[in-house]
Amino acid sequence: MAERQFAIVADIGGTNARFSRVALDTLALDQVAVYPCADFPTLAAALQHYQQQLGLTAIKDVAIAIACPVNGDNVKMTNFHWQFSIKAMQAELQLNTLLVMNDFTAVAMCLPALAEDQKIQIGGGQAQANKPMAVLGAGTGLGVAHLLPVDGKFLPLPGEGGHVDWAAQTEQEWFIQRQLAAQYGHVSPERLLSGPGLEAIYQALAVFQKLEVAPLTAGEIGQQALSGQSQLAKDAVAQFYASLGAVAGDLALTLSTFGGVYVAGGIVPKLLPLLGSSEFRARFEAKGRFAGFNQQIPTFIVTAEQPGLLGAAVYLKQTLAG
């Protein structure tokens, strides 16, 4: 590109709306702003405020990652009241391009653009070029997606892999499974691999170990595990990582993800000091006759601060390039 072309990207969650300008030639993000969603009646109003506040009204190409399914023109957020027509919003704001995607589609699209200092490899294996990748992210829930290289471009495959059946493999896990089944009926990976999931593991392990403890938030469990204040908290995080490794290994097998399996989301980066001593990688590889298969596949922790914004930018750049 002879001249840097700028666009606006956004990552919209149930609580906050993040906006950034991006230079599409370098994918460099700047002028990042975060607003409470509750401050605006509509997403269009929030975007207009961002453009006016930072003097970016001349930018007419926008990509938005949003925390809800995007299966057509009408978009309705799962955990907030914003809903809109993509075509109507594009016309209202007089945009040349308005690309709207699920938030985990954006996380998947960021993977090829991650710099070396935006990811940490755990264990062995080496990423192969032009091979499928997978990403899972534990936060409020468990997001899962794959990314396929196709004819020099990338095709994101978002799905609901967080809601398949969770497979218990040890006596402790069978106990946790029974505890969660009594409460929820169906036990999915998301019931363990999320903020509420870490809290559920902590409570189930207390019963398993015949301990009487008060409920803690995921943040409190993490703090007590990191400080060594609570052995139960450390056990809960250890179980979390063991289950995360097993599920990540399942994703690797599902689409032969020799491009790597990536862990995103807000929980794991905060608990990184406890990852190395966990069973994460061992359980990733523990796939019976296919243990050798998974040993070849690398696993990474995504440490980029704004993977959703970066992925939205990658997808927009690819879309504009045709």
Annotated binding site for ATP: 10-15
Q: Which helix (H) or strand (E) holds 44?
A: helix 43-54
Residue with tokens 């960021």: 110
Binding residues: 10-15
- Can you spell out the DSSP letters for 19-37? EEEEETTTTEEEEEEEEEG
Contact 257, 126 (CB under 8 A): no
Residue 27 has which token pair?
């994918």
- Can you spell out the DSSP letters for 152-211? TEEEEEEE-GGGS-----SHHHHHHHHHHHHHHSS--GGGTSSHHHHHHHHHHHHHHTT-
Residue 138 has which token pair?
């534990």
Which residues are CB-neighbours of 128 under 8 A, at least 6 positions away? 258, 259
Contact 37, 16 (CB under 8 A): yes
Residue with tokens 């471009």: 153
Write out 213-255 in H/E/C secondary structure.
CCCCCHHHHHHHHHHCCCHHHHHHHHHHHHHHHHHHHHHHHHH
